[in-house]
Chain A
Amino acid sequence: MPEVEDTSPPLLELRDLRKSYGDKIKTEVLHGINLSFGSGEFTAIIGPSGSGKSTLLNQIGLLDRPTSGSVLVQGKKTEDLSEEELTTLRGRTLGFIFQFHHLISALTVTENVLMPLWLSGLRDREVAEKAAKEALAHVGLEEKAHVRADELSGGQQQRVAIARALIHHPAIILADEPTGNLDSKTADSVFSLMRRFNAELGTTFLIVTHDPRMAERCDRVIRIEDGVVASDSWRPKGG
């Protein structure tokens, strides 16, 4: 594939990405996906269940390796990276928000939020505490800083998960059904929070969702059907 030299590489690019499962009978779930994501995008990935959107998210999230094709992060191919290099790259570049919030229940809210910073090697207590305070202030949970994570409500836990995903200022945040588990009012506030961070920090968001109302409020909507990109449309800002 010819390289375009005159522009800087996109933040994240998928080239002819294929993924199949099974040893004897191979089932291809993704049939050659080509997509690229730029800085500051706010994108929804939609599609019926079984369409392959979760598989796609795992590929983008560097959690799983493709059967063929490449995932490029800031122009760099990732398929030749070792397990450890991939883990480090994942920790630095990506933030995750999952449907079932996935906080570490043994830790306090602050400790959960700080985990990505610790994993990136930060040991300065003061810097860490300050960052955690700020992140929790952003999601409006300062007063819960020292409560154990499993003592929060679902919406609160998801807000902590957002603070955790943001604290190390990753370039991209991947959210898998971030509001799927919440009532509509809480879902709304969680969504607004993500939009705000997108606007304020310029963080790229990729949101896998079932919810058409949520998709409507994103800047770009990619529809996956049967393992291919069925549509990829942009919405005018503010529209």
Chain B
Amino acid sequence: MDLAWFLALKFLKEYRAQSLLTISAVAVGVSVMIFLSALISGLQGSLIRQTLGSQAHITVQPAEEVARPQLEGPGLMRRIEQPEQRFLSIEGWQSTSNRLRRDPGVVEVAAGVSGNASALRGSAERPVIVYGFDPDEFNRVIDVRSRVVAGRHEPSGSEVLIGVELARDLGIGVGDQVRLRTQTASETLVTVAGLFDLGSQQVNQRWAILSLRGAQSLLALPGGANIFFIRVHKIFDAEKIAQRMEAQTGLLVDSWMKTNQQLLVALKSQSSSSYTIQFFVFLAVAMGIASVLVVSVVQRTREIGILRAMGIKRSTIFMLFVMQGAVIGLSGSIVGAFMGSGLASMFARIAKAPDGSPTFPVDLTPNLFLAAAGAATITGMLAAALPARRAARLDPVEAIRHA
């Protein structure tokens, strides 16, 4: 084995220009892979972060009420009307929430109330969704605390947190008062404790976060909860967990993956087109390595013959060429990793949003480099296998006579 290594390195060193060219070809391939992957995973990461910044991974709401016909049987004409949806608390919500929290995939369950209302200030009126949660639980699911841009982050009994857009629409700021009115004409006057910016215009325009008690009394659900916001460990497990929860509780459970299906489809097709490009790049790299090694087997036919005469084993000859492929792949991937990350960071620096923030966050992780190095090395070895087999099968007599 060490003899195969020794000869592999010596052979690569002898035709230095040829080896360097092949290594450069691998490096270019690897840099394309690194650049594309970093760009796409960075882009996707930021899209998902943005989406999930103002959204729970899983949302649980009371089941829809369905009409249960009293009479059944033949000869009956019947028309079933969808009943109006009453505004109700989740029955036994404490025990349900505790049960959901025990799910191994779950980080946190925030139980609270939510309902529609209008925010009024003078003649201005805006529709809002009122939320009331335990602040600690809530912030572990959706991090509002760190995205409060003015004022305090925890509303007391008669206070509210609103988004920056809503504040602008109503022309109010921290310390100003605003009236909230529900559809049942229940009303309360609250003071703006703080303003948040969750990165989504819709949320910034419509969310009004009260204290849990404040919201419960406004929505006439004292001591009740009609919504759970859940955070999970692995965001792409959310749909699986949601389905499990729905089966367990009979409640209406939605994951972010279901409510953002279009985004997911877009991300998936983006990923697969990037994989396709990478596959063909590696195919070209593999063919490059293979063709160079085929030439090298011809160049070294006589030397292989003499080594065989001296008693080198076929398997050693085979390994000697596979190792050349591995060395080319690995060293190419190291150079390519530098090139690719350089390219990606350069791109991130050039492509900037008007406000100076990078539009394309690049995601250069150690795993990406390991994957690239692994892929290039394996590609090199596979590409070398064919020429290596040819070299190993050379007949020593023919090989020695080879001119």
Contacts and interface: CB of A to CB of B under 8 A. Distances in A.
Interface of A: 58, 61, 63-64, 83-84, 87-88, 90-92, 96, 98, 102, 104-107, 111, 115-116, 118-120, 123, 164
A63 B396 contact: yes
A115 B307 contact: yes
Contact of B302 (A58, A102, A107, A164): A102
A90 B3 contact: no
Contact of B309 (A61, A120, A123): A61
Contacts of B7: 104, 106
Given A106-B11, A119-B3, 12 more contacts: A64-B397, A84-B313, A87-B314, A91-B311, A102-B302, A105-B303, A111-B10, A116-B310, A116-B311, A118-B3, A119-B310, A164-B310
A72 B14 CA distance: 40
A61 B14 CA distance: 29
Interface string B330-355: 00000000000000000000000000
Given A58-B397, A107-B10, A119-B3, A87 B308 contact: yes
A213 B196 CA distance: 104
Contacts of A115: 307, 310
Interface string B298-328: 0000110111111111110000000000000
A85 to B, nearest CB: 10
Contact of A105 (B14, B309, B311, B315): B14
Nearest to A59: B397
Interface in B1-19: 2-3, 7, 10-11, 13-14
A96 B306 contact: yes
Nearest to B12: A106
B309 A92 contact: no
A91 B314 contact: no
A90 B309 contact: yes
Contacts of A91: 310-312
Contacts of A119: 3, 310-312
A104 B303 contact: yes
A58 B308 CA distance: 13
A164 B11 CA distance: 19
A102 B400 contact: yes
A87 B307 contact: no
B313 A120 contact: no
B400 A90 contact: no
B343 to A, nearest CB: 35
Contacts of B396: 63-64
B397 A104 contact: no
A186 B208 CA distance: 101
Which A-B residue pairs are the 4 nearest by beta carbons?
A91-B311, A106-B14, A102-B306, A106-B10
B311 A120 contact: yes
Nearest to B303: A104
Contacts of A84: 313-315
B397 A102 contact: no
Contacts of B11: 106
Given A58-B397, A63-B396, A106 B311 contact: no
A90 to B, nearest CB: 5
A90 B397 CA distance: 13
Contacts of B302: 102
Contacts of A102: 302-303, 305-306, 400
Contacts of A61: 309
Interface in B350-403: 395-397, 400
B308 A104 contact: no
A164 B311 CA distance: 13
A102 B308 CA distance: 12
A102 B310 CA distance: 11
A160 to B, nearest CB: 12
Contacts of A58: 397
A107 B303 CA distance: 11
A123 B5 CA distance: 14
A111 to B, nearest CB: 8
Contacts of A106: 7, 10-11, 13-14
24 contacts: A58-B397, A63-B396, A63-B397, A83-B314, A84-B313, A84-B314, A87-B311, A87-B312, A87-B313, A87-B314, A88-B311, A91-B310, A91-B312, A96-B309, A96-B310, A98-B400, A102-B302, A104-B7, A107-B10, A115-B310, A119-B3, A119-B310, A119-B312, A123-B2
Interface string B275-319: 000000000000000000000000000110111111111110000
Nearest to B308: A87
Given A106-B13, A118-B3, A92 B311 contact: yes
